[in-house]
Amino acid sequence: MLPFKLVRKNLLRRPLRATLTVLSLTVAIFLICFLRTLITTLTAGVEHADSRRLAAMSSTGLFVELPLSYQQKIDAVEGVERTTKFQWFGGYYRSMKGFFAQFAIDGEAMFAMYPECEVSPEQQASFLHTRNGCIVGDALAADSKFDFKLGQTIQINSPLHPTPGNQAWDFVVCGIYHSKSPNFDNRTLFFHWEYFEETLKGEGHPPGVGVYAIRVKPDADIPAVIANVKGLFENGPQRVDCNTEAEFQRQFVTMFGNLPLFVGWIGTGVLIAIFLACVNTMIMSMREQLSEIGILKSLGFTDRSMFGLLIAQSFTLCCVGGALGLLLAWSTQRGVENLLGTSFPGYRILPATFALAAVIAMLLGLFTGLAPAWRVAKLRCVEALRSVD
């Protein structure tokens, strides 16, 4: 039998200590959610990739442009349904503080190939009819740094693609899109390829294509399509690497190098620190309860129920702290997302992360109580009664 009232009374014996321990747990569980989400956000694109989409880019590097003529050749490959092109613009709004992602695209083809990008039909039509029109993500438009409004003309400077007169580029915001899936960023600006190409003609070096997105037919043999696309350009002028969208995103994640590993180390550090803090609290409260436990034991309470008494305390403490931590992580999600802004877009805590953090809190509750509980269970009544705090 477990005296539950005793568990509660013991926990509240020192309210300040209980509160402080719970608060440190809250902080730790919040941090674990935060750090884990940094990693899941990086890999979100891999998990939500469209299995019918492929990406073709230069096998040399991200900054090598592919000729425009490649599109026709890829379109002709058996199993290819449609292709569209992207070029990284690399511009900023006002100063480098306002750096965010922009791409030059084929409007119609992109809407057809990316159903996860949702724009109202009127805005879509207005975008397609405006030469220097653009669409921006809803999160980008709402960002206080930008605050882009429909119909507004915005100036973007691009160090990578300066206009012939070295002036800023003008774009008219024709639409604000909403992204239905984490693999489609909601903090990006898309504008017309024609406008891009015509403006740069004056420089004498027409722009090339960064990435060709390819949609295959439903019954296409994907490995064969990939091999055929690669084979087309094996002898140049630019060799091409073609991959599924998931693989493309995965390669992108590996480019971050040891960063995910560092985040893992930090998480481990947080766990160790909080584990030690909880063990400390439990040992302190066990010491204070020793003489009572002696009395309980001499009254006939078993070793096992005394063991349970201590574990129940640490478990309750950790569950309360963990629950508050989850609540904190959940309620600050929007704030953190805005804080990270365009430098780390897409911060979204997954249900799996919440579950992981909850399990960690419960395990902490079990393990931190273990050492003191063991000691209490082993204790003989006389020793316990004799002990002075």
Partner 1 sequence: MLVPITYNLRSLFVRKTSLLLTVFGIGATVAIVSGILALQQGFKTMFVAGGRDDVAVFLRPGANSEGDSQFSRDRGLQLIKNVPEIAVGEHGPEASMEAYLAVLLERSGGGLTNIPLRGVQPATFEIRGDEVKIVEGRNFKPGTDEVIIGKRLVDRIQGCRIGDSVRLNTTPFVVVGVFDHVGSFGGEIWGDLDRFCTTMGRYGPNRVIARLKPGTVIGAADPTKAMFSETPIPPVPGSMADRLRDDPVIPAKVMSEAQYLSAQTVFLTIALISLGAMLGVVMGLAAIFTATNTMLSALAARSREIGILLAMGYRPIPIFLSFLFEAVVLGLIGGVVGCLLALPFNGIRAGTMNFQTFTEMAFAFRVTPFVLIVAVTFSLVLGLLGGAWPAWRAARMRPTQAMRRV
- Residues near partner 1 (CB under 8 A) are 14, 16-17, 20-21, 23-24, 27-28, 30-31, 58-64, 90, 94-97, 157, 159-160, 162, 166, 205, 234-239, 241, 251, 254-259, 261-262, 265-266, 269-270, 272-274, 276-277, 279-281, 283-284, 288, 343, 389
CB of 72 or CB of 235, closer to partner 1:
235
CB of 71 or CB of 281, closer to partner 1:
281
| Owner of token pair 């691009």 | 158
Kindly give the interhelix angle for 15-47 and 259-299, rounded to the nearest 10 degrees: 140
Smallest distance from the beta carbon of 173 to partner 1, in angstroms? Answer: 20
CB of 165 or CB of 223, closer to partner 1:
165
CB of 282 or CB of 296, closer to partner 1:
282
Smallest distance from the beta carbon of 99 to partner 1, in angstroms? Answer: 8
CB of 140 or CB of 274, closer to partner 1:
274
Smallest distance from the beta carbon of 47 to partner 1, in angstroms? Answer: 18
Smallest distance from the beta carbon of 184 to partner 1, in angstroms? Answer: 21
* 133-137 vs 188-192, strand pairing mode: antiparallel
Q: What is the CA 334 to chain-centroid distance, rounded? A: 13
CB of 31 or CB of 173, closer to partner 1:
31
CB of 280 or CB of 302, closer to partner 1:
280
Residues whose CB is less than 8 angstroms from the CB of residue 64 and which lie 6 or more positions away in sequence, other chains included: 58, 238
Smallest distance from the beta carbon of 81 to partner 1, in angstroms? Answer: 27
Q: Is the peptide bond before 237 cis (omega within 30 degrees of 0)?
A: yes
Of 165, 167, 163, nearest to 195 (Cα)?
Answer: 163
CB burial readout 9-47, b (16+ within 10 A) else e = ebbeeeeeebeebbebbbbbbbbbbbbbbbbbbbebbbe
Smallest distance from the beta carbon of 27 to partner 1, in angstroms? Answer: 5
Read off the tokens for 209. Answer: 């294509």
Of 240, 250, 246, 239, nearest to 222 (Cα)?
Answer: 246
Smallest distance from the beta carbon of 34 to partner 1, in angstroms? Answer: 9
CB of 28 or CB of 176, closer to partner 1:
28
Nearest-angstrom CA–CA distance, 269 and 263 = 10
CB of 228 or CB of 243, closer to partner 1:
243
Instruction: Give Cα separations from 220 to 34, 229, 247, 301 (angstroms).
Output: 40, 13, 18, 71
Q: Exposed (0-12), middle (13-18) or buried (19+): which is 201, by Cβ within 10 Å? A: exposed
CB of 178 or CB of 375, closer to partner 1:
375
Smallest distance from the beta carbon of 194 to partner 1, in angstroms? Answer: 23
Smallest distance from the beta carbon of 16 to partner 1, in angstroms? Answer: 7
Amino acid making up residue 256: F
Read off the tokens for 111. Answer: 């809407």
Smallest distance from the beta carbon of 365 to partner 1, in angstroms? Answer: 16
Give the 3-state DSSP-derived string for 5-43, with helices as H, strands as E and coil as C.
Answer: HHHHHHHCCCHHHHHHHHHHHHHHHHHHHHHHHHHHHHH
CB 116 within 8 A of CB 188: no
Nearest-angstrom CA–CA distance, 321 and 274 = 11
CB burial readout 271-284, b (16+ within 10 A) else e = beebbebbbebbee
- DSSP letter at 101 equals E
